[in-house]
Chain A
Amino acid sequence: MIAARANSLSKIYGDGDTRVTALDAVDVEIGAQQFTAIMGPSGSGKSTLMHCLAGLDSVTSGQVWIADTELSSLSDKALTRLRRDSVGFVFQAFNLVPTLTAIENITLPMDIAGRKPDPDWLNTVIDTVGLRDRLSHRPSELSGGQQQRVACARALASRPTIVFADEPTGNLDSKSGAEVLGFLRRSVDEFQQTIVMVTHDPNAASYADRVLFLADGRVVDEMFNPTSASVLERMKAFDTARA
C-alpha cells in the first residue's frame, strides 16, 4: 500500500542566473505503515522533497499524492485542511506553541478543527511518549527531549495518514534523540503509523525500514533495513564523489 507518492516532481527556485533546481523530476513512493528516512548532503533537496510531499510547498511541475488526494491542484484552504486532518508534523525546533500546555499542544490540530480527540487513543499516545505527569506544563518548563516527545504525540494524536519529521533529533543530545527515535519506531511497529523522516544522521536513519538517498535533486539510491554503518558507508561515497 502506498501512503504518499510523487510523480516526476520538480521544484525550481529563482529565474535566469539565480535559477536553482532543487528537485529534478523525482519519482518516489512512500509505503504505508513504513518508516522511511530521506538522507542526502546539504543542498541535495531532501527538505524540499519533504515540504512538497507534505503540502507545505508548491511544486513547479509534476504531481504529489497523499493517499488518494492529488495536492498540486488544491487551494490553500484545502491544503490547510489536508495538513490538519491527514498529516502530522515534527520539526527540528520550535515545535510547540509556547502559550499552550503540553496537552493543549498535543490536541491542537483537533482543537483547531473543532473535533474531540479519541480519549482511548490519546491515552495510548500519552503513555507511549511517557509524559503523563508533564501534561499541564508549558513548553518552557520541559526539556528539549520532552518537547520533541510532545511534538511526536501531537503528530500522532489525530491518527494522520502520514507523519513527516524534519530532523526531529537535530537539536537533542544522543540519549533524548534515542528516546524520540525509539518512539517513532514503536509507532510504526505497534500502531501501523506511516512516517517519513528527513535526517543527515546515519544513526537516526538506522531506525528506518528504508532509506532514500538524494543528491542534486534526484533520488540516487535506496536501502532497506539499514544500519548506521551501512548508511555511513553510503554517505561517504557522496563525499568521495564530490571530491
Chain B
Amino acid sequence: MFRAALRSLGQHRVRLLLTLLAVVVGVAFVAGTFIFTDSLKQSFDALFNAPQPDVTVSADSAFSAGGQGGGPGSGADQTPTVPSSLLANVTAVDGVASAHGMVTATGALVLGKDGKPVGRAGPPARAMSWLPDQSMSSLSLAAGQAPNGPGQVALLDSTATSAGVGIGDTVRLETPGGQLTSTVTGLVTRGIGGSDGGTLTVFDLPTAQKQMLGNTTTFTSIAVKASPGVSQAELANRLAPALPGHLKIETGAQRSADIANRLQTAFGFINTFLLAFALIALFVAIFLIFNTFSMLVAQRTRELALLRAVGASRSQVRQSVLVEAAVLGLIAAGIGVLGGIAVSQGLRGLLKVFGADLPAAPLVIQPRTIVVSLILGIGVTLISAYVPARRAASVPPVAAMRDDVSMPAKNLRIRGIIGAVLIVIAVLSALSATRDLSNNMRATQLVGVSAICALIGAIALAPILGRWFIGLCGMPIRGNAIGNLAVENGRRNPRRTAATASALAIGLALMSAIGVLAASTKASVAAVVDDTIGADFIVLGANFQPFRPDVFAAVKNTPGASTVTYTRQIPLAVGDDQGVLTGIQSGQFQQVFNLTMDSGTADNLLPGDAIVDSDTAKRLGISLGQNVPVDYVSGPGFLILRGTYKPAGPITGWISDVQTLTDAGGRDLDSAIYVRSAEGADPTTVKASLDKELAAFPAVKLQDQASLKDQINQQFDRVFGFIYALLALAVIVAFLGIVNTLALSVFERRREVGLLRAVGTSRGQIRRMVVIESVLIALFGALIGLSLGLIYGTLFRKVLESVGISKLAIPTGQIVWFVVLAVLGGIIAALWPAFTASRLDVLKAIASN
C-alpha cells in the first residue's frame, strides 16, 4: 500500500515540484527568521568578550537616544559631556589602573574628491577619539599609525574605501568645529559590535574635543581600567562616591547587555513581520497543496478503485494518500530549512543595504528551528491533503470498472451559508469600528476581525462568485467558439477555480491594502508639509545633523532671499516625558511655521517662555502661565507656558526663543534655516543663488516643499518596497497554483482536447483556450483580492486617522498595474499547460480504452 503511494509521488514530478515550492517558501521564511534571530543572539555573547573598558563614566544620558519629533530636520543633537577635570578624581580612586577621557560624537562628514559627503544618507557620520589603551578600545589599527595632532586622522577602512583615499593621502572633513584638511595616518577596524553602515573618523583626543565638542574641557565619557584583582562591579562601587551623582557609572558587562538589548528590540519587529509573512505564504500553500492532491486523487480514481476492489479498506486508501502528503511535507520542510539559511543570509544582506551591518555571527541552527520547520511543513501538507484523502477513500470499488469516472460534486449550499454569515459579521464589525473611532485600539481590532472574516467569507463564497464572475467576464468572448469553451472550462469546476483564485486573492488583498495605506501616508505627509511649512526654501543638515552657524550668514546674504531665519534644537525632558525644544529667532515665528494656536499666543516669546503642542500639554496636564520644571542635558531649568498649538504632523514639542536654548547650554549649531524669496523674485533664480552659496557647505542640503516631500516619500518607499517584495513572493506562489490547476485540468480533459483537435481545432486555438481560462481565473482572484484590499486599506486608514494618516489616497495607477500584472501572470502561468495541451496526441486522447 505504502509502496504504491511512494511510487505515485515519483510519477508526478513536475506538479509535485510546484507544490513543494509553495511549502518550501513558507518553511524557509520561518526557519530563516529563527536562524537569523538565533545567530544574532549568539553574536551578542561575543560582545561580552570584546575589549572594552571595565567601567565607563558618562553623563546620565536620559537623552542618549536623541530627542523625538521636533519638526523637519529634527537635529536635536546635544552630546552629553563630562568635565575633563573629573579625570583626576577617577584616577585617584583606589583600584583604578588607568583612566582615559573619550569623545564619541556624530556630525563629522568625510568629503569625497567631488566635495560631497561620502556614505549613504541615513546612518550617522561618527567621530571618535583614539583610545591608546588597546585593551579597552573597540577600535584596532589595521594599517598605519594612530592619529596624533590636529592635522591627522584615521578612518574606518570602509570609510576610506568610499572616500577613495589611503594612508598618506589628505582628506577634507566637515565637522561642527569647521572644515579640516587632514592626512590619513591609519585605517582602523571596528571589533565586535558591527557597524550601522555609517562613516567613522578617528582623531586624537584634543582634536576630537575641539572639532566635535567645541572645547577642550569636556569628554563624552571616561574609560576606566581596573587594577588586577578588582572586579568591574567592585570598581564601579568604589568610583561612585568620588563622582557627582548625576553621572552614569556602567560596567563593561552592563554596557554589553545594553547593546544586546537594544539590538534585540530593534530586530524584534523584523522577526514579527517575517513570521507573519511566512504564515501568509503557508496559508497560500494550503490552497496549492489542496488542489494538487485533489488532482492526484482524481487522476488515480480508477487505480484507487481497483485497490478497493481487491480488498483495501477505506482507511488504507486514505492513509496511502496521507503518507504521500507526509513524505512530500518532509521533503519540503527539509529543503525549507536549507532555504532558511539562505533567507537568514539574505536578511543580513538586505539589512546591510538598509544601513545596518550586523556583528559577524556563526550560523546557529537550533534543534527547535528544525522541529518547528518539520512540524509546519508536514502539518500544513497533511492538513491540506486531508480532504482529498477522505475523498479518495470514498471512491467506490465499482469505479474501477467504469469508463468515465468523475468525483461526486458536492453541494455548495453549506459553503454559501458559511460565507454569507462571515460576510455579515465582517460588515457588522466594520460598521461598529467606524461608528466609534475615539478608542483607537478597539477600532483597529474590530477592523482586523472584520478583515479576517471578510477574507475567509470571500474564500468560502468564491466557488459561487466565481461561476458568476467568469460567466459575466466571459460575455464578450462568448460569441467565439474558443472563447466560449474557455469560459465554460473556467466555470465547470467552481471549487478548484475558487481555491486557485483565492490563493492569488490573499496576496493581492495584502498588497493593495498596503498600497492604500502607503499612498494615504504619503498624501498625508505631503498635506502636512504644505500646511505647516511657510517658507519657500529650507536648509537642512545632511542626515538632519545640526550644522555650523556660518551657513546662516551665507544664506542671509544671498540676493533674492528676503526673510531668513534659523532654528536650533536641543533635547529636553519634563519628568519622564522626553521631547525636543526648538528655538526660533524672536519675532520670526510666523515666517517659519503655519501653526494654528489652540490657546494663548506665540507672539513675543521671551527667553524662558515656551509654547507646546496641545497633545503634549494635555498629556503633561500643564496649563497656560504655568512654570514647568524641565531637564536639559546640562541640568534642570524652567519654562513658562505661553500657548498651545494644534499638533501638525512632524511639528510637535516645545518651541521657545533661541536664547532659551543658549541659556540651557545649547551649542551654536543650527538645525534648519528657513528662507522666503523676496517679493517678485523668481524662485528658480533664488534657488540657483542659494545653491551657489551653499556649495561651500557640504554638510547641508537645500530643500523646498517638493524636495522635502520627495525625501520623506523615498523613506516610505524603501519600507513599503521591502513589504511588497515579500508579498510578491506569495503572489508568485499563487501563480504556481494556477499552473498546477491548469495542468490538472488539461490532464483531466485530455480526451476532450483530443476530440477538439480531431474535429479541426488547431494547436493555436487549444493554447488560446487554456490561456483565456487562466486569465479568467487570475482576473477573478485579482477582483476578490483588490476589492478586499481597497476596502480594508480604506478602513484601516480611517481608524488610523488619529495617528496622522489624515488623507485617504487610492493608488489608482498601482491598482491598474496589479490588474495588468494579474493578466500577464495568468498568461505566463498558462504557457506550459497550454503547450502540453496543444501537443496532446490526438489518437491517444480519443482512444476509447
Contact = CB atoms under 8 A, between A and B. Distances in A.
A241 interface: no
A95 interface: yes
Contacts of B760: 80-81, 83-85, 87, 109, 112-113
Interface of A: 51, 56-57, 76-77, 80-81, 83-85, 87, 89, 91-100, 104, 108-109, 111-114, 154, 166-167, 170
Interface in B704-763: 751-752, 755-763
B758 A99 contact: no
Most B C-beta atoms less than 10 A away, residue of A76, A87, A99, A108: A99
SS class, residues of chain A in contact with chain B: mixed
B488 A100 contact: yes
Nearest to B491: A99
B492 interface: yes
Interface string B805-849: 000000000000000000000000000000000000011001010
Contacts of B491: 99
A109 B759 contact: yes
Interface residues of B, number: 27
Nearest to B762: A80
A238 B189 CA distance: 96
B748 to A, nearest CB: 11
Contact of B758 (A89, A93, A111): A89
B485 interface: yes
B489 A99 contact: yes
Contact of A167 (B404, B756, B848): B848
Given A91-B846, A91-B848, 10 more contacts: A57-B843, A77-B762, A80-B760, A83-B760, A94-B751, A97-B752, A97-B756, A100-B484, A108-B481, A108-B759
Contacts of A77: 762-763
A108 B403 CA distance: 24
Nearest to A97: B752
A210 to B, nearest CB: 25
Contact of A56 (B492, B756, B842, B848): B842
A94 B488 contact: no
Contacts of B404: 93-94
A80 B481 contact: no
A166 B842 CA distance: 14
A94 B752 contact: yes
Contacts of B762: 77, 80-81
Question: Lowest 8 A-B CB distances belong to which pairs?
Answer: A84-B760, A111-B481, A99-B488, A92-B848, A83-B760, A80-B762, A109-B759, A94-B751
B765 interface: yes
Given A51-B843, A56-B842, A76-B763, A91 B757 contact: no
Nearest to B845: A94
Nearest to B752: A97
A204 to B, nearest CB: 16
Interface in B449-463: none
Contact of B485 (A94, A97, A109, A167): A97
A19 B413 CA distance: 56
A98 B755 CA distance: 11
Most B C-beta atoms less than 10 A away, residue of A80, A91, A113, A167: A80
29 contacts: A56-B758, A76-B763, A77-B762, A77-B763, A80-B760, A80-B763, A81-B762, A83-B759, A83-B760, A84-B759, A85-B760, A87-B760, A89-B758, A89-B759, A91-B755, A91-B846, A91-B848, A93-B403, A96-B755, A97-B752, A98-B752, A99-B485, A99-B488, A99-B491, A100-B485, A108-B481, A111-B481, A112-B760, A114-B480
Contacts of B765: 112
A80 B761 contact: yes
Nearest to A154: B759
Most A C-beta atoms less than 10 A away, residue of B488, B755, B759, B843: B759
Nearest to B489: A99
Contacts of A89: 758-759
Nearest to B847: A47
Contacts of A56: 758, 842-843
B482 interface: yes
Contacts of A81: 760, 762
A74 to B, nearest CB: 13
A112 B761 contact: yes
A85 B550 CA distance: 89
B844 to A, nearest CB: 11
Contacts of B482: 112
Interface in B484-512: 484-485, 488-489, 491-492
B111 to A, nearest CB: 69
Most B C-beta atoms less than 10 A away, residue of A81, A96, A109: A109
Contacts of B484: 100, 104, 111
B49 to A, nearest CB: 72
Interface string B78-107: 000000000000000000000000000000
Contacts of B758: 56, 83, 89, 91
B846 to A, nearest CB: 6
B755 A94 contact: yes
Contacts of B489: 99
A24 to B, nearest CB: 19
A155 to B, nearest CB: 9
A57 B758 CA distance: 10
Given A100-B484, A100-B485, A80 B757 contact: yes
B846 A112 contact: no
